Amino acid sequence: MFILIFSEAAIKAQLFFITLFIFLGIYFEISLNEWIIQIFLMGFVLSIESLNTSVEKICDFVHPDFNKKIGIIKDMAAGAVSFAVISSLIILLIIYYPYIFN
């Protein structure tokens, strides 16, 4: 876990946004159920990002030179992260919309 935190820029960026949403949750005093959902989404995104990093490292180890098929595999793994982030942001927008606009 610490290797990811200290070596991957994407993890650092996601930790920044996680910290932001923690402060938003405290500020808006979101409900217990909303905290549970938010914490689950944070773990979900970090887990998918960890899997993406693992796939990329394995691909680099197996085939260190550029290879079109390896590039496709890496793009697919990155796509999984994009799906996780986008779906999480939509859910977080649903959670925070009433707090921000009411």
Fold observed for domain 2-101: Helix Hairpins (1.10.287)
pTM of the predicted model as reported, rounded to 2 decimal places? 0.88
**What pLDDT score was predicted for residue 62?**
95
DSSP string covering the chain, please?
Answer: -HHHHHH-HHHHHHHHHHHHHHHHHHHHT--HHHHHHHHHHHHHHHHHHHHHHHHHHHHHHH--S--HHHHHHHHHHHHHHHHHHHHHHHHHHHHHHHHHH-
| Extents of the domains making up the chain | 2-101
For 54-82, what is each residue's pLDDT tens digit? 999 999 999 999 999 999 999 999 999 99
Q: Average pLDDT, whole number, for the chain?
A: 95
